[in-house]
Amino acid sequence: MIRFEDVELRRGGQVLIGGASFGIHPGWRVGLTGANGCGKSSLLAALRGELAPDAGRIAMPRDWVCAHLPQEVEASPRRAVDYVLDGDAALRALQERLERCRDGTEHGRLYAEIDAIDGWSAEARARQLLAGLGFAPGDPDRAVAEFSGGWRMRLGLARTLMTRSDLLLLDEPTNHLDFEAILWLEGWLTRYPGTLIVIAHDRRFLDSVVSHIAHIEHRQVQLYTGNYSAAERRRAEVVAQTEAAARRVAEERAHLERFVARFRAKATKARQAQSRLKRLEKLDEVALLRAARPMHLRIPAPDRLPDPLLRLDHAGVRVDGRVRLRPTTLRLRPDDRIGILGPNGAGKSTLLAVLAGLLPLTEGARVVEPGLVVGHFAQHQREQLDDAASPLLHLQRLGSNRAEQELRNLLGAFGFAGTRADLPVAGLSGGERVRLVLAMLVCQGPSVLLLDEPTNHLDLDMREALAEALEDYAGALVVVSHDRDLLARACDRFWRVRAGQVEEYDGDLDDYARELSQLRSGTATLGIAGSQAGPAERDGGRERRREAARQREALKPLRKAAEREESRCVHLQEELRALEARLGDPGLYEQGSGGDLEELLQRQGRLRAELEAAEAAWLEALAVFEDAQARP
């Protein structure tokens, strides 16, 4: 087994991990989680022997072979399949000895050794790895140098998986993969017989693959049994012991108890009172999970939502004679929440660029309402930030009329609280740069959000906060993402893009995953959307999405009504707290202040009565919303 004994890891003078002691048994599949910069990659480097612990020791069996994902794959004239086969060091050593061998007896012995390790089928297995990771049939025979950086990283992953390893270390293996390749990788890793330690920020990937979670927080490593969702719940129980979490639980409990006490005896309110009682029973679990997430985002409602917001009329794009987008007619309406499916290179990013007006059309037209703000997020934007400017200055340069404090509050929600909003961008990590670009996008108040892989480089807490914000966003949303949790939560319709052709997909993510699985097993081909699913499955997936859209639209005014009442309660609570702070001033009770004191006391009484009425109205609105939610 792997043993960590009082391990300390530092970066410069900063302690990343201190006093870590735990063990990882053979065959465990461990997900390594924690906020960006907490020391996950440093821990993997220590396991590889590239970084010595500053204190303590890491012990593992000496005969274990360790395979790890390279940080980059250099361009070379070597065939892709040969590069992948190089990962099998034992086979390559035998092949090299065989080439030099001149003795007939030794020659036969080497043949037997290659046969014993199944070496004769190695190239076929390497080609299967490449196919699973999305390479086309002719790609294995192309030179490594012919592939782009992202595809070379896939080659590096294939070579790593080809290694006969006892310990497999993967740092963000899904970053350069599309939906299809991630599903394939999940299946491969669940069958891997050795010990796996993987860093990933994809909740569904971790839930599917790992058997344990090692979470780094406050310079400590805590080991949990189970997948990420199970570990998150146990983390939440610990977080809830803090004063802040306890206060949140107490405040919501007080609201619910007041409602129950006031309306339980009334026949017309009995149902709502029973609903509140059930919420009280589950309150701790719900509040704990919320308290465990340090970031909470909100995307302001757009000022304008005309219908349609944007449309493409037979819009097509050709570049150097090559079709990038076939003639496409689409309409984006205010309630559209669309996920785009398809393999890398199919044209998903091209479609988003056309919708954003960033790619010139060679035929057809793009029509958008004058003055409408279309927000477009693309990965390259994080590289175009001004390294010398601060996050605050980036937002101020957008020309927004917002006050500086409002901009600082927005930056704080994206993890740039206090002085971090004033530091130069040059020192930001990849994930921090993505967060800043998202903050700039939100600051513009877009009516349409076009997001191209927005979760790359974001940790799990930030992904969760973004998913929550997109769920409540009032404008139109179009998303390209390999994060299935984000797609499932934020989208209720899907388009599929293949070879530049856009089509409506009649199914949900489960249907799509099933099609891909059938394709890999040779039982289906991806023809017209949903063609390989049975009629009942196609109709079921389509109806689920339609029902989700109908329910979302019906619930929108009820949710907004509850939010308005809650905001009124918050405003009254703040006003009452400020007033009671004034009443706590000893100088108010000195001789000659009687008139002021009397006025403040009267105002206190009125505010308390208004707050009680507002809380009743909020709970009533909340009850109506929840009853509508629960109604079949």
What's the per-residue H, E or C state across 65-77? Answer: CEEECCCCCCCCC
> What distance lies between CA 360 and its chain's CA centroid?
31
Tokens at residue 265, please? 């005896």
Cis peptide bond upstream of 61, omega within 30: no
Residue 154: per-residue pLDDT? 92
CA–CA distances in Å: residue 263 to residues 266, 275, 616: 5, 12, 9
Residue 607: per-residue pLDDT? 85
CB of 293 closer than 8 Å to CB of 244: no
Compute the C-alpha angle 485/185/351, nearest 5°.
55
Residue 538: per-residue pLDDT? 46
Residue 586: per-residue pLDDT? 72
Quick: pLDDT tens for 63-115. Answer: 899 999 888 888 889 999 999 999 999 898 888 888 888 787 888 888 898 88
Strand intervals (E) in 25-177:
29-34, 55-59, 66-68, 167-171
CB of 462 closer than 8 Å to CB of 431: yes
Cis peptide bond upstream of 327, omega within 30: no
Q: Letter for the amino acid at 271?
A: R
Sequence-ordered list of residues with C-beta below 8 angstroms from that of 43, at least 6 positions apart, any chain: 9, 17, 32, 216, 221
Sequence-ordered list of residues with C-beta below 8 angstroms from that of 14, at least 6 positions apart, any chain: none
Strand intervals (E) in 499-581:
501-504
Please give the helix or strand (H or E) that residue 284 lies within, else none.
Answer: helix 270-291
Q: Letter for the amino acid at 615?
A: E
Tokens at residue 118, please? 């199944």
Residues of the chain with pLDDT below 50 are 267-269, 271-272, 286-287, 523-535, 537-538
CA–CA distances in Å: residue 590 to residues 595, 596, 599, 602: 11, 11, 15, 18
Residue 209: per-residue pLDDT? 95
Residue 83: per-residue pLDDT? 94
Half-sphere exposure for 30 (CA within 13 Å, toward CB):
26
Residue 273: per-residue pLDDT? 58
Residue 170: per-residue pLDDT? 94
Residue 188: per-residue pLDDT? 94
CB of 410 closer than 8 Å to CB of 358: no
CA–CA distances in Å: residue 384 to residues 289, 371, 381, 426, 436: 36, 25, 5, 11, 12
CB of 184 closer than 8 Å to CB of 154: no
Strand intervals (E) in 130-279:
167-171, 195-199, 212-217, 220-225
**Maximal C-alpha separation, the chain:** 115
Sequence-ordered list of residues with C-beta below 8 angstroms from that of 314, at least 6 positions apart, any chain: 327, 328, 329, 363, 364, 365
Half-sphere exposure for 305 (CA within 13 Å, toward CB):
14
pTM here is 0.67
Residue 25: per-residue pLDDT? 94
Three-class SS state of 467: helix
Cα of first residue to Cα of last residue in the chain, in angstroms, is 51
